[in-house]
């Protein structure tokens, strides 16, 4: 079965043609230097948290980057509950709880305070001919409040998803609530466990320190209504993808996004889609720059004729 992640769903929902370019034709647009630095910083922080969760040494990684060291310390201060759930801590608590429960085995009312906790936890769900795939930065399923909630719900298990966001600016909360990462992560956890939607939550921690020098967070609870809405949208998208894949067998292009969505002006594939005229014109950066034609085919032809011998060196 073809795997589908939140990235696949996001792109498919936004622009079918771009989905074709990125995931079927393996094309990609250029990344700016700033984007590369942000991606690199984020990858290192995720690795740092994974190392921390596995109780492996992190001193070298932390010491090599003062900003990352400050971010980790600030997260530990602002979210001690996160670090309390890290596997080595949770594993010790579970072991102690199991020993205590064994000594009270005659008491049938005792509920084991067992916690499942794992960093970079992967889950898959077969859905409508596809394999929905998620990777949780940190997944925690615990029953520590089971005794208090048993009379109300019959069980007290809670599923918590934690995700580390390393953007320098946090997105709007409403946007993130409707983002496919949030929706898919919550949906898959609900479908692959016995947890009800109201027992599940997802928390984003924005770990890269901003002017306030402390990490922020967004927490999203879940509901049966949201679960059913996501289910219907997943059916819609996967059914549509099945139709598109049949179209691709005939070497046909997927439909373009509607111009009214306003996505083409900043898309790296607008030339390939004959939508380059929608992009804002960019002034030449050098006096010898070639005058660019608004015709995308002319742009491609001109670019194909450039060689190292025909491009003048920019003077210092």
**pLDDT tens-place string over residues 57-111:** 777 777 777 888 888 889 989 988 888 877 544 444 433 433 343 333 333 222 2
Output the pLDDT for position 6. Answer: 97
Average pLDDT for residues 6-24, to the nearest whole number?
A: 95
Residue 26 has pLDDT above 70, yes or no: yes
Q: Domain extents for the chain? A: 2-244, 259-304
Q: How many CB atoms lie within 10 A of CB 50?
A: 15
Q: What is the pLDDT of residues 136-183, one digit of tens each?
A: 999 999 875 433 333 344 366 799 999 999 887 788 999 999 999 999
- Does domain 2-244 fall under CATH 3.90.320? My reply is yes
Residue 298 has pLDDT above 50, yes or no: yes
| Polymer length in residues for the chain | 316
Output the pLDDT for position 86. Answer: 73
Output the pLDDT for position 121. Answer: 94
Q: Which of 119, 111, 1 is nearest to 52 (CA)?
A: 119
Report whether 157 contacts 146 (CB < 8 A). Answer: yes
Average pLDDT for residues 12-22, to the nearest whole number?
A: 95
Exposed, middle or buried by CB within 10 Å (0-12, 13-18, 19+), for 261?
exposed
Output the pLDDT for position 295. Answer: 56
Output the pLDDT for position 313. Answer: 47
Output the pLDDT for position 297. Answer: 53
Write down the H helix ranges in 201-267.
Answer: 224-248
Q: What is the pLDDT of residues 30-66, one digit of tens each?
A: 788 888 888 888 998 898 888 888 878 777 777 777 8
Average pLDDT for residues 104-122, to the nearest whole number?
A: 58
Output the pLDDT for position 301. Answer: 53
Report whether 142 contacts 157 (CB < 8 A). Answer: yes
Output the pLDDT for position 122. Answer: 96
Q: What is the pLDDT of residues 181-221, one digit of tens each?
A: 999 999 999 999 999 999 999 999 999 876 667 888 999 99
Q: What is the pLDDT of residues 252-292, one digit of tens each?
A: 889 999 888 889 988 999 999 888 775 554 444 444 344 44
d(CA 291, CA 309): 18
């Amino acid at each position: 079965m073809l795997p589908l992640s939140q990235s696949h769903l996001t792109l498919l929902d936004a622009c079918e043609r771009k989905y074709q370019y990125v995931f079927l034709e393996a094309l990609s647009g250029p990344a700016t230097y700033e984007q590369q630095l942000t991606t690199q910083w984020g990858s290192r922080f995720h690795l740092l948290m994974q190392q921390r969760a596995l109780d492996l040494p992190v001193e070298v990684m932390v010491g090599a980057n003062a900003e990352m060291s400050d971010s980790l310390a600030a997260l530990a201060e602002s979210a001690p509950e996160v670090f309390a759930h890290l596997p080595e801590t949770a594993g010790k608590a579970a072991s102690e709880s199991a020993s205590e429960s064994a000594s009270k085995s005659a008491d049938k009312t005792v509920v084991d305070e067992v916690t499942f906790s794992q960093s970079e936890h992967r889950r898959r769900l077969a859905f409508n001919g596809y394999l929905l795939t998620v990777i949780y930065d940190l997944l925690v399923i615990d029953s520590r409040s089971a005794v208090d909630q048993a009379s109300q719900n019959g069980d007290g298990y809670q599923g918590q998803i934690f995700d580390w966001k390393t953007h320098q600016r946090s997105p709007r909360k409403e946007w993130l609530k409707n983002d496919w990462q949030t929706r898919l992560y919550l949906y898959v956890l609900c479908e692959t466990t016995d947890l009800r939607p109201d027992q599940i939550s997802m928390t984003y921690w924005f770990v890269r320190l901003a002017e306030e020098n402390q990490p922020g967070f967004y927490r999203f609870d879940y509901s049966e209504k949201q679960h059913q809405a996501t289910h219907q949208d997943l059916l819609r998208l996967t059914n549509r993808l099945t139709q598109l894949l049949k179209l691709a067998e005939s070497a046909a292009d997927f439909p373009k996004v509607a111009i009214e969505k306003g996505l083409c002006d900043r898309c790296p594939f607008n030339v390939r889609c004959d939508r380059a005229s929608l992009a804002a014109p960019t002034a030449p950066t050098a006096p010898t720059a070639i005058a660019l034609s608004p015709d995308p085919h002319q742009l491609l032809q001109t670019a194909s004729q450039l060689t190292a011998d025909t491009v003048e060196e920019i003077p210092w």
